[in-house]
């Protein structure tokens, strides 16, 4: 195999556009490619995705590989691995990046094993080591209690990146790039799964993963009525309500609201943690938040080690006043 060169981004699409994670990865990939003095490529896989190549170029790609085939409409491990094996073989990248999504988490490890290389999933930071020129892959381990920096000396070096940890470039529609069509060449009998149905989660308001502001409650909220107050604050801030495990186990809130090790992973601009202690299992789901604000009656609670701003006191008394004052300030 020729020497591996450049950075390849697997671009997910959503509703006929590049997914937000794809633009974030292109922004990050551009920087890594420039640091290496090499090319940034993108790959689009799906049905009816050809049109998006120019969008990928506007967001920073020098070259876009397009595999457009009706058989690729739905993500399926076997078909996508087969297509990506072909593209990676052709592009021979030094680095392959995917999003830490339900797709990326499935595709990245299988590709890594197929190419006898390694992957790091859920990275927060990526950089090129100035000496070895290898990709430094930083990710949370032990449920967020620690972070690890990994390297791989087999190629491609594969990583998935958490949403909202990288910044997209301003799209430049005048950027020029090359588009390379790749035939899917799928053998339908080699695809051992079939997608029968796709069911969208019922949500009222903003999705937790997309919310810029999250108001999260813990065991100390005490019941569903308490969460109604959190809902009010979330609504005011155009955010979403999350919870630690106990409120979900007690059915004060739906199971889908759980943030943490065994729940959702979020990284909002602002995370308001109310009456929750900040166990590692919970923090691993929200430690990527930009600013954490905590209200808790226990001054020793771990959440105050994680928070930027804190209030020690009974949330039942502090929260209504907090919400009221914010209403006033935001109106003024």
**Binding positions for other proteins, 255-314, rule CB under 8 A:** 255, 261-263, 269-270, 278-281, 283-284, 287, 291, 293-295, 302, 304-314
- Please select the residue that binds other proteins; options are 149, 167, 183, 224, rule is CB under 8 A: 149
Write the CA distances from 74 to 14, 113, 198, integer angstroms: 12, 22, 9
CA 234 to chain centre: 22
Residue closer to other proteins by CB (options 150, 175) is 150
Cis peptide before 156 (omega within 30 of 0): yes
- Please select the residue that binds other proteins; options are 36, 209, 235, 246, rule is CB under 8 A: 209
Map the footprint of other proteins across residues 119-138, applying CB under 8 A: 119-122, 136
Map the footprint of other proteins across residues 61-80, applying CB under 8 A: 74, 77-78
Least distance in angstroms from the C-beta of 159 to other proteins: 10
Q: Considering the rule CB under 8 A, would residue 90 count as an interface residue with other proteins? A: no
**Neighbour tally for 331: CB within 10 Å:** 6
Count CA within 13 A, CB hemisphere, residue 110. Answer: 15
SS3 15: coil
Least distance in angstroms from the C-beta of 56 to other proteins: 20
Q: How far apart are the first and last CA of the chain?
A: 64
Write the CA distances from 138 to 125, 173, 276, integer angstroms: 5, 32, 27
Kindly indicate which of the ranges 27-35, 54-62, 83-91, 319-327 contains the residues binding other proteins, using the contact rule CB under 8 A.
319-327
Map the footprint of other proteins across residues 153-192, applying CB under 8 A: 153-154, 192
């Amino acid at each position: 195999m020729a020497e591996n060169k450049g950075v390849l981004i697997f671009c997910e699409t959503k509703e006929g556009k590049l997914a937000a994670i794809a633009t974030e990865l292109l922004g990050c990939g551009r920087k890594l490619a420039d640091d290496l003095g090499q090319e940034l490529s993108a790959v689009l896989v799906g049905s009816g995705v050809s049109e998006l190549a120019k969008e990928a170029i506007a967001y920073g790609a020098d070259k876009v590989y397009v595999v457009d085939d009706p058989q690729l409409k739905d993500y399926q491990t076997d078909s996508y691995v087969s297509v990506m094996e072909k593209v990676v073989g052709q592009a021979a990248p030094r680095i392959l990046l995917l999003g830490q999504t339900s797709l990326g988490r499935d595709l990245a490890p299988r590709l890594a094993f197929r190419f006898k290389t390694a992957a790091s999933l859920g990275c927060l930071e990526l950089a090129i080591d100035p000496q070895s020129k290898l990709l430094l892959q930083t990710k949370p381990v032990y449920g967020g209690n620690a972070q690890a920096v990994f390297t791989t000396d087999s190629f491609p070096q594969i990583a998935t990146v958490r949403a909202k940890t990288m910044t997209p470039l301003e799209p430049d529609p005048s950027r020029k790039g090359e588009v390379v069509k790749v035939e899917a060449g799928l053998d339908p009998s080699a695809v051992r799964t079939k997608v029968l149905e796709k069911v969208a989660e019922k949500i009222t308001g903003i999705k937790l993963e997309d919310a810029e502001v999250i108001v999260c409650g813990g065991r100390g909220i005490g019941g569903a009525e308490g969460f109604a107050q959190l809902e009010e604050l979330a609504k005011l801030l155009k955010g979403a309500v999350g919870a630690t495990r106990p409120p979900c186990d007690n059915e004060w809130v739906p199971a889908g609201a759980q943030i943490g090790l065994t729940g959702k992973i979020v990284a909002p601009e602002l995370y308001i943690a109310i009456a929750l202690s900040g166990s590692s299992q919970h923090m691993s789901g929200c430690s990527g938040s930009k600013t954490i604000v905590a209200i808790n009656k226990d001054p020793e609670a771990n959440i105050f080690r994680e928070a930027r701003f804190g209030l020690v006191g009974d949330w039942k008394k502090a929260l209504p006043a907090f919400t009221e004052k914010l209403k006033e300030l935001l109106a003024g």
